[in-house]
Structure 1
């Protein structure tokens, strides 16, 4: 797997938690870790060049110290990994989106220094999950270290990338996978009729059976590549968002695709992935198809 693991830092406690998580990810993946801090021009540049230069120098000094602290945190978690740090000009979302083009994973905290306490998720995390060019992992609440990897499965071609990500994560951690597929009578496609001459001739329970087959088929090929990973199939008759959010309470990591089979083609992030990002009780990985 090529590319670095990239983590964005801003000095907040959430971003340092993200550094620790990213360091472990780099260790699992036998990859280097790049710590990135984005620095925008200070407001003083618009009205006083002297103050602007002094403010810029101070921002640069603070950023270098922030990187040193973050690199020390990463090495305390995973001493053997290669850690580098860089300060880049620009706003965090733009900088990290650009970094995602050459990364195998980008990790961020749920909220940074600029976040309002009443918000559940920061704008950088939301924007990066929608626009990142690689999987994006948002570190939220303290995780359950012995819990499973929770995988949201919808059977869409785009969701296959999330399945691979979850299986790789479970194999690296020695964890099991809970593959959850939730469906309702409104979002499940009707199976072919039992009798072609009678379009409503399916016996009772055929829709549920079709959804269980969907889950099995979505996992069939990938399970052969990870024979040591235990996978629990969990089919839930009910809305997807509350089912995943509830199941995340006991998970160490929740993995979802960026959009599912019910999404509109023009949307970058689906309603399920957005809801899980905002409300899950574990870190969340959003994987683009």
Structure 2
């Protein structure tokens, strides 16, 4: 069965960027694209007016979906349009159970269709498949414009924690880098909060070195495991001191993609939807891929456990 990618779409400039990403990804994976436009939850209006109102909303949504489908077909990508009633986040999360990936813009249009951006964090936190969120500054051809610019140009960056090679985010990042001919950067951060300033330069350096050693050993072991599985994949490691959120956002200024998990450990504990992941999702300049690593029992938006 062919892979399927779902695009949350509302016709805005931001969702057009997401459409471009989804079209490129569908072409690489030979996947079908589902363009989903949500009409949102019914609003409280006079019963006698509701029928015509809903019909108008659904007609507009169908037109928006049809325009995206036509663009996909022009590019040779098989696509279908889906007009869905209900909470936009809940609609997308439900579809995430049976597809290969979800793609969203960071923000959407205000009004009837303006719901994509407002639900991107909720979808990222609860989806059962990888979710790619496109930043407002991403434009087609970004790889060419970043060639040779920045420490992480042409690379997929993934945060490494104590889950090591078993981290689903690492597995996804490795797969993406291999499929797209990109390098892989394994990044771990020793949080500044773990360092203590003693007033002695030599003692402070010694403490930092003691913290640095285990982090380097951990990320080095993970890199060797990755290389053992794919010797052709260019793998780099970086161990930094600082604030994990800040370092990942900084890496995203030049990286092709930043990959994080929906839960984290160690220096990246609470990666979604905690402070680190929120910073990467909303402050980064590169596309962000969020990999589900939470419990299967976690309730979807709008549902009770």
**TM bracket, shorter-chain basis:** 0.7 to 0.9
1:262: Cα distance to partner? 4.2
Residue matched to 2:296: none
Q: Identify if the C-alpha distance between structure 1 residues 55 and 229 changes in structure 2 by more than 3 Å, giving closer, same or farther.
A: same
Residue matched to 1:60: 58
How many correspondences in the alignment?
A: 267
Cα deviation per residue 1:36-62 (whole Å; 9 max; x = unaligned)?
Answer: 11113553x63142x322222221221
- 1:261 maps to 2:299: no
List gaps (5 residues or longer) in structure 1: 116-120, 189-201
1:3: Cα distance to partner? 4.5
SS of the residue aligned with 2:36? strand
Distance 1:267 1:101 in 2: 21
Select which of 106, 129, 134 maps to 1:134. 129
| 2:161 and 2:268 in contact (8 A); partners too | no
- 1:164 maps to 2:202: no
Distance 1:266 1:183 in 2: 15
List gaps (5 residues or longer) in structure 2: 148-153, 196-205, 294-305
Cα deviation per residue 1:105-162 (whole Å; 9 max; x = unaligned)?
Answer: 11111011139xxxxx933101011111111110112153143212222232697111
Alpha-carbon RMSD = 2.8
Residue matched to 1:93: 89
Q: Identify if the C-alpha distance between structure 1 residues 264 and 246 changes in structure 2 by more than 3 Å, giving closer, same or farther.
A: closer
Distance 1:256 1:211 in 2: 18
Residue matched to 2:46: 47
Q: Identify if the C-alpha distance between structure 1 residues 168 and 204 changes in structure 2 by more than 3 Å, giving closer, same or farther.
A: closer
Cα deviation per residue 1:71-115 (whole Å; 9 max; x = unaligned)?
Answer: 123334x42x32111111112101001011111211111011139
- 1:10 maps to 2:10: yes
Residue matched to 1:37: 37
Task: Map 1:105-254; keep pairs closer than 5 Å.
Answer: 105-114=101-110, 122-140=117-135, 141-142=137-138, 144-145=142-143, 146=147, 147-156=154-163, 160-184=167-191, 186=193, 205-254=209-258
Per mean C-alpha deviation after superposition, the further-off stretch among 273-282 and 26-35 is 26-35
Distance 1:222 1:155 in 2: 15
1:205: Cα distance to partner? 2.5
Cα deviation per residue 1:252-285 (whole Å; 9 max; x = unaligned)?
Answer: 2111112211499999523211110011011111
Distance 1:130 1:271 in 2: 13
